[in-house]
């Protein structure tokens, strides 16, 4: 009977133990790798090429977490302070400190103050269990047993270093701050490696009750301190209390890039290394703010800056707007499409040079021109509404003259020019040439600053094009030759020649630098957009100034709006770095060119081999065929019903020897020196010589008001 009773008791005991084991089962224990990979900072950071923080974007608003801190990255002072405060025998036990357990039980039996017996491993077990259950665990006997068993299992599968590291990263420190990285950064403005002894003691004092009242925290931090008075640790604790509840001031140097590159949800990238340079980015942001502030009285609110390294395509600065002056600060001016103005002209002349329609020394006539189009007559005007007569292509480009550019487009054709722009990376210029028409020479198409800068970078790189690089991990794509190196060299020579832009810009202007540089400005219709884009040996800098809403600026051109910024950026970039002119390719030859006296003294010019000239002579006006200048071919003239007919007269303009010519209107002879009374309808105007041979003829239309 006794044997049976003993067996029964043993069975009951075993059953009770098994039931207790099942009842206190800790659940699955994650691996260190799972915990480490599951950690997500509460913010994403945009870093420059050297790891400096450019911009921080909050992605989790429930907690503030930083990057996971490896144990080797944490100050030894903090490690020692936490061990001393929380678990003196951490490296000697296996998850449960029985010495502390018995001491706590003895204190409890003697009605003395309770003494904590939870080890770092047990506290980590509680943190991990709470994450698994997505809620804090209740303090019951069952949870305490589960915690102990969980800690014991952790000790068998994790190293001490992994346990301690995870503990420091998963702990809450005060308020919504979680993890040692966020605590060091937001409470002390430091990395985890830079924490002092006093700061470490203050952080260790938070751990039992992070959100306790100040008096309790001061008492605990002084108890941990080995010195009296404990002014240093108390001061560090005061810093914690003062800063814990305040939202940190996050760096915001590149908001547009951050919005583009950084994710916004859980699982998004925590940091991205860019090619930007924080010093150049900061200087560009401040320079843009200063310039827009100076132009505010001229209705200027927005601007953008892009700085690129020529050899690599690395973007060094990307400033999309100025939030202080802008009404639309979230618009990225680097990527926004605006009318190009005169900034496309270098690519037009490059195409004409490549096809050998022109040389840099060729003379172009800056005189009125009327072109018939499907939509009516196209009459281009220069910016100053004046005419310079015969000018070289170098002078025409340097002074940004519109009419010579349109004449050049007549040589190349609109569609070939459009195709060249697309090849250069102007991805938005996709319609056929007829859509843009002759105004494409003057920049009627819409382009982005990013496209502009990379197209000019192609000129700087001898005609080789490759994509821009924004992220450190972006691939280096092999450049492709878009235009010959010889052509890029000649265009760069034209854009760098300060004497070639003397007529429009004068001797002293912001386009001149004390080092070699090539630059072009542009202003779109009604002064809605200012551009200044140029390059040195190492850098290409692009500036856009205007208003995102499209309203015009007041009297602000490219040389007064964008050029000062370009000059400031170039000067900053070359403070300690000279810029050398490009080396002349073998396919280019320099030659002394003799011009007529009206064009100035002989000067040195560069040519594609085989196109060089030593004497430039314009065609004599006397040798030109006689022709009708006004009205223009295809002109449409409208009669005004509010003006008496006798005041609506038309004068004819003829080039040539008038005594030897006869002008007829619809087969009726006319007096070339008299004013003509227009009549509604289509008319044919014919110019003949004295023998009756037709020298020129045009047709035009006169329209009268309906009714």
Give the pLDDT confidence of 213-259 residue by residue, as tens digits: 888 988 888 888 877 788 888 888 888 888 877 766 667 899 999 98
pLDDT at res. 635: 78
pLDDT at res. 277: 97
Q: Is 576 exposed, middle or buried (0-12, 13-18, 19+ CB in 10 A)?
A: exposed
Report which listed range, 159-163, 512-516, 689-693, is most confident: 512-516
Nearest to 55 by CA among 65, 64, 46: 46
**Integer Cα distance of 411 and 616 in angstroms:** 19
**CATH architecture for residues 287-608:** 3-Layer(aba) Sandwich (3.40)
Average pLDDT over residues 623-630: 71
* Range list of H helices, 361-473: 393-398, 402-412, 414-423, 433-436, 449-460
pLDDT at res. 626: 76
pLDDT at res. 644: 86
| The two structure tokens encoding residue 558 | 């490219």
Determine how β-strand 43-47 pairs with β-strand 464-465: unpaired
Length of the chain: 707
Query: Are 616 and 573 spatial neighbours (Cβ–Cβ below 8 Å)?
Result: no
**CATH architecture for residues 26-43+60-242:** Orthogonal Bundle (1.10)
- Rounded to 5 degrees, what are φ and ψ at 221? -65, -35
| 515 Cβ contact partners less than 8 Å away, ≥ 6 residues apart | 536, 574, 578, 579
Helix, strand, coil fractions of the chain, as percent rounded to 5: 40, 20, 40
**Integer Cα distance of 564 and 323 in angstroms:** 20
| 102 Cβ contact partners less than 8 Å away, ≥ 6 residues apart | none
**Integer Cα distance of 532 and 519 in angstroms:** 7
Average pLDDT over residues 646-673: 82
Give domain limits for the chain. 26-43+60-242, 287-608, 621-703
- Rounded to 5 degrees, what are φ and ψ at 204? -65, -35
| The two structure tokens encoding residue 656 | 């040539």
User: Which of the two residues, 330 and 698, has the higher pLDDT score?
Assistant: 330
Using a pLDDT cut of 90, give the percent of the chain over it.
44
DSSP string, 204-251: HHHTT-TT--HHHHHHHHHHH-SSSS-HHHHHHHHHHHHHHTSPP---
Please say if the pLDDT value at position 178 is more than 90: no
**Integer Cα distance of 26 and 18 in angstroms:** 14
Q: Is 542 exposed, middle or buried (0-12, 13-18, 19+ CB in 10 A)?
A: buried
Query: Are 177 and 60 spatial neighbours (Cβ–Cβ below 8 Å)?
Result: no
Determine how β-strand 43-47 pairs with β-strand 376-378: unpaired
Residue 212 half-sphere exposure, CB side, CA atoms within 13 Å?
Answer: 17
Please say if the pLDDT value at position 452 is more than 70: yes
- Rounded to 5 degrees, what are φ and ψ at 306? -135, 125
- Rounded to 5 degrees, what are φ and ψ at 301? -120, -25
CATH code of the domain made up of 621-703: 2.60.40.60
Nearest to 469 by CA among 485, 484, 482, 453: 453
Residue with tokens 């985890």: 192
Query: Are 209 and 216 spatial neighbours (Cβ–Cβ below 8 Å)?
Result: yes
**Integer Cα distance of 545 and 561 in angstroms:** 6
**Integer Cα distance of 592 and 455 in angstroms:** 31
Residue with tokens 């403070």: 575
**Integer Cα distance of 664 and 672 in angstroms:** 9
| 208 Cβ contact partners less than 8 Å away, ≥ 6 residues apart | 116, 220
**Integer Cα distance of 319 and 298 in angstroms:** 21
Query: Are 315 and 274 spatial neighbours (Cβ–Cβ below 8 Å)?
Result: yes
pLDDT at res. 17: 47
CA-based max dimension of the chain: 153
Query: Are 182 and 169 spatial neighbours (Cβ–Cβ below 8 Å)?
Result: no
Residue 679 half-sphere exposure, CB side, CA atoms within 13 Å?
Answer: 4
Query: Are 266 and 68 spatial neighbours (Cβ–Cβ below 8 Å)?
Result: no
Give whole-number Cα distances, 208 to 100, 122, 203, in Å: 16, 13, 10
* Average pLDDT value for the chain: 85
Cis? peptide before 631, omega within 30° of 0: yes
Give whole-number Cα distances, 431 to 408, 451, 452, in Å: 21, 17, 18
Residue with tokens 């003697």: 110
- The secondary element (H helix, E strand) that includes residue 285 is helix 278-294
**Integer Cα distance of 405 and 422 in angstroms:** 19
Query: Are 284 and 538 spatial neighbours (Cβ–Cβ below 8 Å)?
Result: no
pLDDT band at 601 (very low <50, low <70, confident <90, very high): confident
pLDDT band at 575 (very low <50, low <70, confident <90, very high): very high
- The secondary element (H helix, E strand) that includes residue 45 is strand 43-47
| pTM for this prediction | 0.75
Average pLDDT over residues 275-295: 97
| 451 Cβ contact partners less than 8 Å away, ≥ 6 residues apart | 425, 426, 427, 428
List the beta strands (DSSP E) in 225-345. Answer: 271-273, 302-309, 315-319, 337-339
Average pLDDT over residues 29-57: 85
Sheet of 694-703, strands arranged across:
636-638, 694-703, 681-689, 661-665, 668-670
| The two structure tokens encoding residue 444 | 């009627």
Per-residue pLDDT tens digits for 384-431: 778 888 999 999 999 999 999 999 999 999 999 999 999 999 999 988
């Amino acid at each position: 009977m006794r044997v049976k009773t003993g067996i029964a008791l043993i069975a009951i005991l075993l059953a009770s133990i098994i039931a207790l084991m099942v009842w206190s089962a800790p659940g699955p224990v994650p691996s260190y790798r799972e915990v480490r990979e599951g950690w997500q900072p509460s913010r994403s950071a945009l870093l420059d090429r050297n790891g400096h923080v450019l911009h921080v974007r909050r992605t989790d608003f429930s907690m503030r977490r930083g990057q996971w801190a490896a144990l080797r990255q944490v100050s030894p002072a903090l490690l020692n302070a936490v061990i001393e405060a929380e678990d003196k025998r951490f490296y000697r036990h296996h998850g449960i400190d029985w010495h502390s357990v018995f001491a706590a039980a003895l204190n409890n039996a003697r009605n003395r103050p309770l003494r904590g017996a939870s080890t770092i491993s047990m506290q980590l077990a509680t943190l991990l269990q709470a994450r698994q259950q997505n809620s804090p665990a209740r303090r019951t006997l069952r949870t305490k047993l589960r915690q102990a068993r969980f800690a014991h299992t952790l000790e068998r599968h994790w190293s001490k270093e992994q346990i301690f590291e995870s503990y420091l990263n998963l702990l809450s420190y005060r308020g919504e701050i979680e993890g040692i990285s966020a605590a060091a950064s937001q409470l002390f403005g430091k990395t985890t490696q830079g924490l002092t002894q006093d700061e470490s003691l203050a952080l260790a004092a938070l751990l039992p009750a992070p959100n306790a009242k100040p008096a309790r925290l001061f008492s605990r931090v002084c108890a941990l301190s080995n010195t009296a008075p404990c002014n240093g640790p108390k001061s560090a604790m005061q810093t914690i209390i003062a800063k814990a509840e305040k939202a940190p001031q996050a760096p915001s140097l590149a908001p547009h890039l951050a919005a583009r590159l950084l994710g916004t949800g859980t699982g998004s990238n925590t940091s991205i290394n860019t090619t930007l340079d924080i010093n150049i980015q900061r200087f560009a942001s401040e320079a843009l703010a200063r310039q827009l502030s100076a132009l505010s009285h001229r209705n200027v609110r927005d601007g953008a800056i892009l700085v690129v390294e020529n050899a690599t395509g690395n973007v060094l600065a990307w400033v999309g707007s100025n939030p202080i002056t802008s009404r639309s600060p979230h618009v990225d001016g680097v990527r926004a499409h605006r009318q190009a103005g005169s900034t496309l002209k270098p690519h037009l002349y490059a195409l004409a040079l490549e096809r050998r329609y022109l040389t840099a020394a060729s003379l172009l006539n800056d005189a009125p021109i009327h072109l018939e189009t499907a939509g009516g007559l196209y009459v281009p005007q220069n910016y100053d509404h004046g005419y310079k007569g015969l000018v070289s292509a170098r002078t025409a480009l340097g002074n940004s003259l519109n009419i010579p550019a349109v004449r050049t487009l007549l040589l190349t054709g609109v569609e070939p020019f459009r195709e060249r722009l697309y090849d250069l990376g102007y991805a938005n210029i996709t319609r056929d040439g007829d859509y843009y028409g002759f105004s494409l020479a003057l920049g009627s198409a819409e382009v982005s600053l990013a496209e502009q800068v990379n197209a000019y970078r192609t000129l700087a790189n001898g005609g080789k094009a490759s994509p821009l690089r924004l992220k450190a991990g972006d691939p280096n794509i092999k450049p492709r030759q878009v235009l010959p190196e010889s052509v890029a060299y000649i265009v760069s020579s034209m854009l760098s020649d300060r004497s070639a832009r003397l007529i429009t810009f004068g001797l002293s202007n912001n386009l001149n630098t004390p080092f070699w540089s090539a630059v072009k400005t542009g202003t779109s219709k009604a002064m809605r957009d200012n551009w200044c884009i140029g390059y040195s040996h190492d850098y290409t800098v692009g500036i856009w100034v205007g208003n995102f809403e499209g309203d015009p600026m007041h009297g602000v051109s490219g040389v007064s709006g964008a050029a000062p910024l370009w000059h400031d950026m170039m000067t900053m970039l070359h403070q300690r770095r000279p810029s050398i002119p490009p080396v002349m390719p073998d396919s280019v030859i320099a030659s002394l060119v003799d011009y007529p006296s009206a064009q100035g003294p002989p000067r040195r010019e560069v040519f594609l081999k085989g196109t060089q000239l030593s004497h430039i002579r314009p065609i004599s006006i006397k040798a030109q065929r006689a022709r009708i200048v006004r009205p223009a071919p295809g002109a449409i003239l409208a009669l005004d019903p509010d003006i008496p007919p006798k005041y609506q007269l038309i004068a004819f303009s003829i080039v040539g020897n008038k005594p030897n010519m006869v002008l007829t209107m619809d087969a009726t002879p006319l007096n070339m020196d008299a004013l003509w009374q227009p009549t509604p309808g289509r008319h044919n105007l014919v110019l003949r010589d004295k023998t009756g041979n037709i020298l020129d003829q045009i047709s035009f239309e006169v329209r009268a008001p309906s009714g």
